[in-house]
Amino acid sequence: MAPAITTRDLRRVFDETVAVEGVDLVVESGEIYGFLGPNGAGKSTCVRMLCTLLLPSRGSATVAGHDVASEPNAVRLRIGVALQDAALDDRQDGLELLRLQARLYGLRGSEIDRRIADLTDLIDIGDAIHRRIGTYSGGMKRRLDLAAALVHNPDVLFLDEPTTGLDPVSRAKVWEEVRTLNRELGTTIFLTTQYLEEADALAERVGIIDRGSIVAEGPPATLKRQIGTDVIVVNIDGEAATACSALRGIPGVSAVDEHGEELLVHADDGSAVIGPVAVALAECGVTVRRLTLRTPTLDDVFLELTGAHIHEDEPT
């Protein structure tokens, strides 16, 4: 099966500002691909080019088998788009919006009814579909916008920071709906986000973009492993030297560092080693005040590659 999205040396310049610089991507059909980076990194500009809202300054991109520059209409018929700011008419009710969207994509009569029924089962809209959109919460508006992007059953769905500004409960509901779409419909999902946990929870692969360029790409677990080991942090009472010698002989432990009454136990697979570490400390009579497992995060990956953290609250 051909890739859902392919870009080659994709570039976009605004006056003298380079927003996207030479991006190469391949997103497979049926994949959830996370595009991760801080505000201003070039995420939204990439999405706007892939959705035919902006022309590339250089390079090429195909989406669902069609070139975004020379075949924009063919691309638009095969994609769904939910941008960061949902453009919804507060005076319509949810059903009116979905019917209008379906007609704009050429659906008619009973076909519209069937598609809307499928979507209301898939997306948690419930009886709110009959209420005016102006009465919706932020989370409900996001879900309705998602349903509108899916009404024509697109091959590729673009979600541009879909949970920005949502409370944790609403964010979790959107996450579950994204997983359901991918699992039950096989929809390819291109997800841009600045939330580290969102990319980690949803994406099979992530691309990390910084200053318009891809600086790393791969499964989240692989990227995190590449920049360091898991660390078991042990806070103890008493003599650290005894504890260190007991821990260094445990299979899977690569190093033990002593910092006063804190021990840092390095391991490739911390979850497999944390039990033996606790047993070894108990057997040598060390009193443990706290024992925690710290695994590398995507922010650690970003920090390693760029020298900066992803700041979720910096201005666009």
Same domain (yes/no): 121, 54: yes
CA-wise closest residue to 35 among 173, 187, 163, 158: 158
Same domain (yes/no): 133, 267: no
Q: Which of 199, 224, 249 is the last residue of a domain?
A: 224
* CA pair distance 247, 165, nearest whole angstrom: 45
Q: In angstroms, how far apart are the furthest CA atoms of the chain?
A: 78
Same domain (yes/no): 156, 215: yes
Same domain (yes/no): 259, 211: no
CATH number of domain containing 122: 3.40.50.300
Same domain (yes/no): 25, 116: yes
Q: Which domain holds residue 90?
A: 5-224
In a domain, 306, yes or no: no
* CA pair distance 92, 88, nearest whole angstrom: 8
The predicted pLDDT at position 313 comes to 45
Same domain (yes/no): 64, 43: yes
Same domain (yes/no): 248, 174: no
Question: Would you say the C-alpha torsion 100, 101, 104, 108 has a positive or negative sign?
Answer: negative
Same domain (yes/no): 131, 280: no
Same domain (yes/no): 260, 202: no
Q: Which of 224, 249, 274 is the last residue of a domain?
A: 224
In a domain, 307, yes or no: no
The predicted pLDDT at position 97 comes to 95
pTM for the whole thing? 0.81
In a domain, 140, yes or no: yes
Residue 212 Ramachandran class (φ > 0 left, ψ -120 to 50 alpha, else beta): left
Alpha helices in the chain (DSSP H): 43-50, 72-78, 94-104, 109-122, 138-150, 168-180, 196-202, 220-226, 240-248, 270-283, 298-306
Profile the chain (316 residues) by mean pLDDT over runs of 10 residues: 95 94 96 90 93 96 98 96 84 95 92 91 84 91 90 94 83 88 92 87 93 93 84 82 81 86 86 92 86 86 76 44
Tokens of 116: 């809307």
Same domain (yes/no): 207, 241: no
In a domain, 121, yes or no: yes
Same domain (yes/no): 242, 126: no
In a domain, 60, yes or no: yes
Structural domains in the chain (count): 2
In a domain, 183, yes or no: yes
Tokens of 12: 């976009």
Same domain (yes/no): 252, 206: no
In a domain, 305, yes or no: no
Q: Which of 185, 202, 224 is the last residue of a domain?
A: 224
The predicted pLDDT at position 311 comes to 57
The predicted pLDDT at position 312 comes to 47
In a domain, 158, yes or no: yes
In tens, the pLDDT along 255-267 reads 888 877 888 898 8
CA-wise closest residue to 232 among 262, 189, 265, 202: 265
CATH number of domain containing 290: 3.30.70.100
Q: What are phi and psi of 230, to 5 degrees?
A: -70, 150
